Amino acid sequence: IFGAILLTWPRLLTIGLLSASFCHLVSCQIRYSVPEELEHGAFVGNIAEDLGLDVTKLSSRRFRIASGARKQYLEVNLENGILFVNEKIDREEQCEQSAACFLHLQVVIESPLELYRVEVDILDVNDNPPSFPWSEFVLEISESAAPGSRFPVESAHDPDVGTNSLRTYSLSPSDHFTLVVQSRSDGSKFAELVLEAPLDREQQRSHQMMLTAVDGGMPEKSGSAQITVSVLDANDNVPVFEQPFYKVRLLENAPRGSMLVRLNATDLDEGSNGDISYSFSGHAPLKVRELFSVDSRTGEIRVKGVVDFEKASVYEIYVQAKDRGPSAVAVHCKVLVDILDVNDNAPEVILTSVSTPVQEDAPPGTVISVISVMDRDSGDNGNVDCEIPHNMPFQLHTSFKNYYTLVTSELLDRETVSEYNITVTARDLGSPPLSTRKSILVQVSDVNDNAPRFLQPSFSVYVTENNAPGASISSVTASDPDSNQNAYLSYSILEGQIQGMPVSTYVSINSDNGNIYALRSFDYEQLRNFQIRVQAQDAGLPPLSSNVTVNVFVLDQNDNAPVIVSPLPKNGSVATEMVPRSVDAGYLVAKITALDADAGQNSRLSYQVVQATDQGLFSVALYTGEIRTIRRLMDKDATRQRLVILVKDNGQPPLSASVSIILSVVDSVPETLSDFGDLTLTQESPSSLTLYLIVSLSSISFIFLVAIIVLVFKKSNINLQISSGAKVPTNCVEVNGNSALSQAYCYKVCLTPESAKSDFMFLKLIDALYLLQGTTAMYYRYISLPSFSLQTSTCVDVLQ
Ligand SMILES: *[C@@H]1O[C@H](CO)[C@@H](O)[C@H](O)[C@H]1NC(C)=O
Ligand SMILES: *[C@@H]1O[C@H](CO)[C@@H](O)[C@H](O)[C@H]1NC(C)=O
Ligand SMILES: *[C@@H]1O[C@H](CO)[C@@H](O)[C@H](O)[C@H]1NC(C)=O
Ligand SMILES: *[C@@H]1O[C@H](CO)[C@@H](O)[C@H](O)[C@H]1NC(C)=O
């Protein structure tokens, strides 16, 4: 307390002096000045002394202080009359911002009642720093604000007054802002931020500054607050593509929805100012819009259609990006899409020309077809190799790329392979490779290079004699591996002679089917076998032919009866044989000899007695024909014995002949040979000499006949008639002849009306006529063809 008094003493003294004089002038009013914020007991003034009161009587006179304030800030020590601070006085509380602050005290003294007024001037002490309402505050400024713009900031407040009050503001250093402090008309200060440099939210979205308010006290006090300038976005940035130019590669036939590229444009702005939407640029062609899609939000470019390398190998996609802020500007970007080829096109095979059928004798190297291949793919995917199977007589030649010729590599044979199905395989070099097959059907056309072939090297035909003329006796078949007319066969019989007669008078052949017909009835006894040659000829140009031998064997039939050769009847009488009466049993009386023209069993003869004067006297040996006596002859036996012997062959049915023989029993045998004067034959047979003569005559006649036939051919008028006077029908030739041997023959040749052409057939042929000496027996032989009529001959008994 004492110190405080000491400290304030010089001032108090002056104040006290001033107060005293004032007291004297104006009914004693005193005034003290005391700084605020003094502690309890601090000395304010010696009020008793200043009022001229007796200190000792203060209590008795009931000295007291009354003040209008709620609180008793000041108190007087009644013992020494000193006014002191009772409670700490806060000037700012008491007087707020008033420049002068007084505590008015009323001093009351009784006995006598005296009233004094005391003014205590509360002096300001710089006890308050300037303060801001918030320790930090946010200022929002658009980044588009122009430099020089001012933004008022919150003022600080200092309850102190006078020089202790707020003096100025200051700002921490900033690149963008400065502070301007201004005074209002009442002298109070306020500060404004001045934008010095343009703001860029995209560079710095907020700026922090410290604003400090300083008062004028000694020492000065300050208070500060943090200013945060938040930069508000303006749509001042356009989107920027990550790359100005995108280059992507895409496999053709990429499935729908495959992503090509994700565009990434960035916009430094925020909110809708930075919200980018992607789309095609205005000049993106329609084709591109059909094939690709752009996701407006994500910027993904995806495949929408079918991408075909063969249609276009590169696409340029123009896209744009635009933010959604006001007055947005679009930026453009190009995406270059290289389409990569995929081996998706199989090669194509084009047969430019096909020459088929090809002749089987075509020389190797003959061009069958010209083949061109193409593949729409590129690179190896479009390089094509062509091949055909190796096991065929064909080759592929290539002279320049993608063109091939299909040629024969060896001789063809239609009879082995008549057509080739050549599969041409074209395969590209892609991976995996694609291939195409095309079949070329090459037909081999026939060339007459094969002669007909008979199924057997030779044929044997067996015909029973006396066969019906015109019947089929056999057939031959040939085959020809060629085709069509080159394999169309016709059969014919080659010219030749059989026993001096043309073969064509013996047999004929059906030219279509090879059936062989006998033209006459064969006689085993005359002709046992013969050969003909049959030719088969195809209809090719030139024709080819081959021939085969057909051996015809005539089989025997029992058509000849036995002929008795001995004993021969003599001059129309029965043969007679002498038998001596004295002979013993078993005596060989005679031997019957017979012949049979047939063969085998048909000519195996047996003899038997069919009639006898005395059955028990003579027997004939079954196979030898020997007549022997059975017993001795008796005197009573007749001298003239007659035997009839039957000679029978072994055929089926058997044929027979019989002979009568007279046996004369004589007492002595004469030296002469037996006499056959009385023999009579039942059937005559030509001697073998006669037979030979007939054959040779027939041959001569045949030659003669041939000469006539030639004549007939040469004459246009076929009404030729060479005749010795006999009446014959037209179209017939009658040939008569005589010989010195008293044998006559007669041939008659007739032509059919249809055979006016060179086609010439015998209708009827009387081939032989036998006339035996002493008889008028005559043999006619007819051969007739089925389709022709049979005519009997008018040629009879030439001799007569
Ligand atoms: C776009 O690019 C920016 C900056 O390069 C990157 O941060 C962001 O992840 C990208 N966005 C996409 C979707 O790739
Ligand atoms: C040829 O061969 C091919 C394949 O082997 C087949 O498809 C085609 O039908 C054949 N052509 C003929 C005419 O046989
Ligand atoms: C018949 O064939 C033989 C051999 O096959 C041949 O030598 C002959 O000339 C042929 N004859 C005719 C008339 O074709
Ligand atoms: C045949 O008989 C007749 C009359 O009997 C006779 O004239 C003739 O000479 C006889 N001929 C022979 C060859 O015996």
pLDDT above 60: residue 169? yes
pLDDT of 161: 83
pLDDT of 712: 60
* Residue 224 in domain: yes
Examine the domain organization and report whether 153 and 258 are in the same domain.
yes
pLDDT above 90: residue 228? yes
DSSP string, 327-390: T---EEEEEEEEEEP-S----EEEEEEE--SEETTPPTT-EEEEEEEE-SS-GGGG-EEEE--T
pLDDT of 437: 93
Separation between Cα atoms, residue 228 and residue 154, nearest integer Å: 12
Examine the domain organization and report whether 192 and 322 are in the same domain.
yes
**How large is the average pLDDT for residues 421-442?**
92
pLDDT of 696: 73
Examine the domain organization and report whether 277 and 387 are in the same domain.
no
Compute the distance from residue 36 Cα to the ligand 1 centre, in Å. 66
E strands, 409-528, in order: 419-428, 435-445, 453-454, 458-464, 472-475, 478-479, 489-493, 497-498, 501-502, 507-509, 515-518
pLDDT of 536: 95
Compute the distance from residue 482 Cα to the ligand 3 centre, in Å. 20
Q: For ligand 1, is residue 266 a contact (CB within 6 Å)? A: yes
Report H helices in 503-620. none
Task: Compute and round to an integer the Cα radius of gyration of the chain.
Answer: 84
Q: Which atom of ligand 4 is nearest to the CA of 677?
A: 14
Compute the distance from residue 264 Cα to the ligand 1 centre, in Å. 6
Examine the domain organization and report whether 407 and 518 are in the same domain.
no
Q: For ligand 1, is residue 242 a contact (CB within 6 Å)? A: yes
Coil, helix or strand at residue 749: strand
Q: What's the CATH code of the domain at 391?
A: 2.60.40.60
pLDDT of 493: 94
Q: Nearest CA to 442 among 360, 368, 367, 362?
A: 368
pLDDT of 298: 93
Pairing of strands 478-479, 563-566: unpaired
Look at 426 and 55; give whichever has higher pLDDT.
426
* Residue 791 in domain: no
DSSP 8-state code for residue 616: T
Compute the distance from residue 616 Cα to the ligand 2 centre, in Å. 98
**How large is the average pLDDT for residues 101-129?**
86
Ligand 1 atom 10: residue of nearest CA: 264
Compute the distance from residue 571 Cα to the ligand 4 centre, in Å. 6
Q: How many CA atoms lie within 13 A of 765 on its CB side?
A: 21
pLDDT of 753: 40
**How large is the average pLDDT for residues 551-580?**
86
pLDDT of 652: 87
Q: Which residues contact 550 (CB under 8 A, 6 or more apart)?
A: 458, 459, 460, 461, 474, 476, 516, 531, 532, 533, 534
pLDDT above 70: residue 23? no
**How large is the average pLDDT for residues 15-21?**
43
User: Quick one: which ligand is closest to 568's CA?
Assistant: 4
Q: Worst-scoring range by mean pLDDT, 190-199, 252-261, 347-356, 567-576? A: 567-576
- Please state, for a pLDDT cut of 90, what percent of the chain lies above it: 43
**How large is the average pLDDT for residues 697-702?**
79
Ligand 4 atom 4: residue of nearest CA: 571
pLDDT of 671: 52
pLDDT of 8: 43
Examine the domain organization and report whether 468 and 438 are in the same domain.
no
Phi and psi, residue 707, nearest 5°: -60, -40
Helix (H), strand (E), coil (C) string for 625-687: CEEEECCCCCCCCCCEEEEEEEEEECCCCCCEEEEEEEEEEECCCCCCCCCCCCCCCCCCCCC
Can you name the residues that pair with 490 across neighbouring β-strands? 537
Separation between Cα atoms, residue 748 and residue 765, nearest integer Å: 6
**How large is the average pLDDT for residues 32-47?**
89
Q: Which of 123, 150, 185 is the last residue of a domain?
A: 123
pLDDT above 80: residue 497? yes
pLDDT of 554: 93
Q: Which of 98, 123, 148 is the last residue of a domain?
A: 123
Separation between Cα atoms, residue 14 and residue 760, nearest integer Å: 195
Examine the domain organization and report whether 171 and 257 are in the same domain.
yes
Q: For ligand 2, is residue 423 a contact (CB within 6 Å)? A: yes
Q: Worst-scoring range by mean pLDDT, 325-339, 376-390, 631-645, 672-686? A: 672-686
Examine the domain organization and report whether 361 and 233 are in the same domain.
no
* Residue 680 in domain: no
Examine the domain organization and report whether 313 and 217 are in the same domain.
yes
Q: Which atom of ligand 2 is nearest to the CA of 439?
A: 1
Q: Which atom of ligand 2 is nearest to the CA of 437?
A: 4
pLDDT above 70: residue 457? yes
pLDDT of 743: 35
pLDDT of 775: 31
Give residue 288's region: left, alpha or beta (phi > 0; psi -120 to 50).
Answer: alpha
* Residue 697 in domain: yes
pLDDT band at 477 (very low <50, low <70, confident <90, very high): very high
* Residue 538 in domain: yes
Pocket test for ligand 3, best of 547, 548, 549, 550 (most atoms within 8 A of CB): 547
pLDDT of 714: 55
pLDDT band at 670 (very low <50, low <70, confident <90, very high): low
pLDDT of 171: 93
Separation between Cα atoms, residue 779 and residue 764, nearest integer Å: 15
Q: Quick one: CA dihedral 568, 570, 573, 579, positive or negative?
A: negative
Q: Which token pair is 210?
A: 């410290």
Examine the domain organization and report whether 485 and 590 are in the same domain.
no
pLDDT of 469: 92
Cα separations (Å) of 255 from 258, 307, 342, 496, 725? 6, 9, 13, 90, 114
pLDDT tens for each residue of 340-351: 999 989 999 998
pLDDT band at 277 (very low <50, low <70, confident <90, very high): very high
Q: Cβ < 6 Å from ligand 3: which residues?
A: 494, 535, 545, 547
pLDDT of 685: 46
User: How many domains does the chain contain in total?
Assistant: 6
Examine the domain organization and report whether 42 and 25 are in the same domain.
yes
Examine the domain organization and report whether 168 and 283 are in the same domain.
yes
pLDDT band at 669 (very low <50, low <70, confident <90, very high): low
Compute the distance from residue 303 Cα to the ligand 1 centre, in Å. 22
DSSP 8-state code for residue 710: H
Within 10 angstroms of residue 123's Cβ, the number of other Cβ atoms is 18
Q: What's the mean pLDDT when you consider all of the chain? A: 81
* Residue 674 in domain: no
Ligand 3 atom 4: residue of nearest CA: 547
H helix or E strand, kind and range, residue 266: strand 265-266
* Residue 56 in domain: yes
Ligand 1 atom 8: residue of nearest CA: 264
pLDDT of 684: 41
Q: Which of 279, 308, 340 is the last residue of a domain?
A: 340
User: Quick one: which ligand is closest to 544's CA?
Assistant: 3
pLDDT above 80: residue 196? yes
Q: Worst-scoring range by mean pLDDT, 12-26, 280-294, 573-587? A: 12-26
Examine the domain organization and report whether 584 and 458 are in the same domain.
no
Domain that holds residue 706: 687-784
Cα separations (Å) of 772 from 563, 685, 742? 15, 9, 9
Report H helices in 43-155. 47-51, 91-95
Q: Which residues contact 696 (CB under 8 A, 6 or more apart)?
A: none
* Residue 763 in domain: yes
**How large is the average pLDDT for residues 525-532?**
91
Compute the distance from residue 677 Cα to the ligand 4 centre, in Å. 8
**How large is the average pLDDT for residues 301-330?**
91
Look at 112 and 426; give whichever has higher pLDDT.
426
pTM metric for this prediction: 0.49
Compute the distance from residue 302 Cα to the ligand 1 centre, in Å. 18
pLDDT tens for each residue of 251-273: 988 999 999 999 999 998 888 89
Q: Answer whether 161's CB lies under 8 Å from 124's CB.
A: yes
Q: For ligand 2, is residue 456 a contact (CB within 6 Å)? A: no
User: Quick one: which ligand is closest to 262's CA?
Assistant: 1
- Please state, for a pLDDT cut of 70, what percent of the chain lies above it: 82
